[in-house]
Amino acid sequence: MKNESGEASVEEENQEQPKEAGKFIKVKKFTFIMGIFLLIFLTAGITTIALTFGDEKVESLAPDKHSEFEKLFSTYDTIKGNYYKDIDEDKLVDGAINGMIKSLDDPYSAYMDKKEASSFHESISSSFEGIGAEIQEQDGHIAVVSPIKGSPAEKAGIKPNDIVLSVDGKSVKGLSSSEAVLKIRGEKGTKVKLTISRAGETDPIEFTIKRDTIPIETVYAEMLDDGVAKIQVTSFSEHTVDELKTSLEEMSKKDMKGLVLDLRGNPGGLLDQAIDMASLFIPNGEVVLQVENRSGKKEVYKSNNDGALKKVPVVVLIDDGSASASEIVAAAVRESADIPLVGVKSFGKGTVQTAEDFDDGSNFKYTAAKWLTPDGNWIHKKGIKPDIEVKLPDYASLPYISPDKELKASDSSSEVKAAEKMLKEAGHDPGKIDGFFDEDTTNAVKAFQRDQKIKETGIIKDDTTVKLMQVIRDKILENDTQLKKAVEVVKKDIK
């Protein structure tokens, strides 16, 4: 059994045994949905059956004691006996389980067939092939939680809260997150076309992204000026805390005097890793989080800090891509260790999922509980407001322009307007920013192409588009207003 705190297609650890992170319980499908597989026995004339689970005996699962299954039995028998074509019984059972879970109307609960389950397991392994974006089903749509750092999705310009309308021209509306993942993932070197709807954009945006190997390296450390270290954690997988400890030790050897823990764009992951990570910064015995089941019973998890790591001033960075496990850490360190949060409001996922494997390789996960902050707050669909709100510059929100699309003189579109803004930020004045590709725009494009040693065509396409967006990304990194504020706050506490 594996619990997850950040979804999309991966995440959390059992609320009662959070350290059992790599162990999935294998269960038979009739154990999960007894009535469905009982059909096979009923059609053979058997009406009573006893099953044994350890020392516990469960008797008489016949319809008279489980009348809620009668419609299901009848439907199965009718289809099996009278449908005009031969049926795949396994597929029929899979559909029944899938329908049951979908009826929960919960974007974090899902049934996965063998292929989908394999993809689920890859999400917490050492690497997988795809575009590197965490997604979730949201009100019948597929929404991006966050792209993975350094992934093709991030480089292409995929952003948190983007809605995926179609994959390779086929609509994904109504699909589960695991079904959508299978369509988006693929072999390294192949391409996938995503059509995205983005808030603030009138028209859908098309992305053509080349798939690559996505390594699950989750911790990136660097020493900034004046002894301030920055450590970015991009997700919570099986070895994240070990990676973080190693990075902290490396930074300590470089005379770390303060730390910025960057959880921006972190979609979450395994609950046990979130608990152990928060414990590194919270005094031993202080509350990390509470997990509450449907009866209201709360399980309280406390810090197991052994005091081995060097204590320095810490600030945590969050944004709208910080979800679930990263929100657990952010809330815990603020409420139990008085560590300030800088950035913008987080995503807002306050539930815990449990995942279980069937013995045929399929899998299902369901929401088993909700988690609360140390002070008992439930942040679900609300997010966490930072102590110090800092936004990135406006140009950080400029939309993606597909390199495959040609923008040239006399064109008029939202893409042209975005390109004009990019050109201006890149130091080349396109004249009036109005979405019309006029002579001033052409001259600005040629000047940009000269600077970048690209053939001067005055047309925005291919290399010109890629270079233009890269210049903007570099400028965002150079002028990371959120990081600058976090460093400023940390330095005030360095003695």
What's the confidence (pLDDT) of residue 141? 85
- What token pair was written down for 244? 């973080």
Q: What pLDDT sits at residue 400?
A: 79
Q: What topology does CATH give the domain 219-351+369-393? A: 2-enoyl-CoA Hydratase; Chain A, domain 1 (3.90.226)
State pLDDT tens for residues 298-311.
999 999 998 878 89
Residue % of the chain over a pLDDT of 90: 53
Query: Could you write out the three-class secondary structure of 210-269?
Result: ECEEEECCCEEEEECHHHEEEEEECCECCCHHHHHHHHHHHHHHCCCCEEEEECCCCCCE
pLDDT digits (tens, 9 = 90+) for 165-217: 999 999 998 888 878 888 898 889 999 999 999 887 778 888 999 999 877 77
Rounded to whole angstroms, how far apart are CA atoms 268 and 325?
4
Residue 51 has pLDDT above 70, yes or no: no
Estimate the crossing angle of helix 34-43 against helix 89-102, to 10 degrees.
Answer: 150
pLDDT band of 65, cuts 50, 70, 90:
low
**397-478 is classed in which CATH architecture?**
Orthogonal Bundle (1.10)
Mean pLDDT across 145-170: 87
Please say if 349 is a catalytic residue. yes
More confident residue, 475 or 179: 475
- Tell the residue number behind the tokens 């046990």, with chain if given: 272
pLDDT over 60 at 21, yes or no: no
Catalytically annotated residue among 29, 349, 417, 467: 349
Residue type, 426: A
What average pLDDT does range 311-318 have in this prediction?
96
| pLDDT for residue 58 | 38
Note whether 40 and 47 are within 8 A (CB).
Answer: no
Residues 6+ away with beta carbon under 8 Å from 110: 101, 137, 176, 177, 178, 364, 365
pLDDT at residue 119 in the model: 67
Q: With 70 as the cut, is the pLDDT of residue 234 above it? A: yes
Q: What is the pLDDT of residue 423?
A: 97
Average the pLDDT over each of 70-79, 210-219, 345-354 and give the range with the smallest value.
210-219
What's the whole-number average pLDDT of the chain? Answer: 84
Which candidate in 324, 326, 346, 402 is catalytic?
Answer: 324
Q: Which DSSP category does 67 fall into?
A: G
pTM over 0.85: no
Is the pLDDT higher at 58 or at 490? 490
Q: Which residue has the higher pLDDT, 57 or 414?
A: 414
Residue 22 predicted with pLDDT over 50: no
What's the CATH number for 127-215? 2.30.42.10
pLDDT single digits (tens) 117-132:
776 666 545 467 889 8
Q: Would you kindly state where each structural domain of the chain is located, as residue ranges?
A: 19-103, 127-215, 219-351+369-393, 397-478
Report pLDDT digits (tens) over 369-413: 999 999 999 999 999 999 999 999 999 988 878 888 899 999 999
Concerning whether 125 is annotated as a catalytic residue, the answer is no
Pairing relation of β-strands 351-358 and 26-27?
parallel
Over residues 242-260, mean pLDDT: 96
- Name the catalytic one among 335, 362, 415, 420: 335
Confidence category of residue 55, pLDDT binned at 50, 70, 90? very low
Q: Is pLDDT at 346 greater than 90 in this prediction? A: yes
Q: What is the pLDDT of residue 35?
A: 39
Please give the pLDDT value at position 238: 85
Q: How high is the pLDDT of residue 115?
A: 77
Can 253 be counted among the known catalytic residues?
A: no
Q: Give the lowest-confidence range in 78-87, 130-139, 225-234, 463-472.
A: 130-139
| Number of DSSP helices (H) and strands (E) in the chain, helices first | 14, 23
Confidence band, pLDDT 50/70/90 cuts, at residue 145: confident
The per-residue pLDDT for range 405-446, each reduced to its tens digit, is 899 999 999 999 999 999 999 999 999 999 999 999 999 999
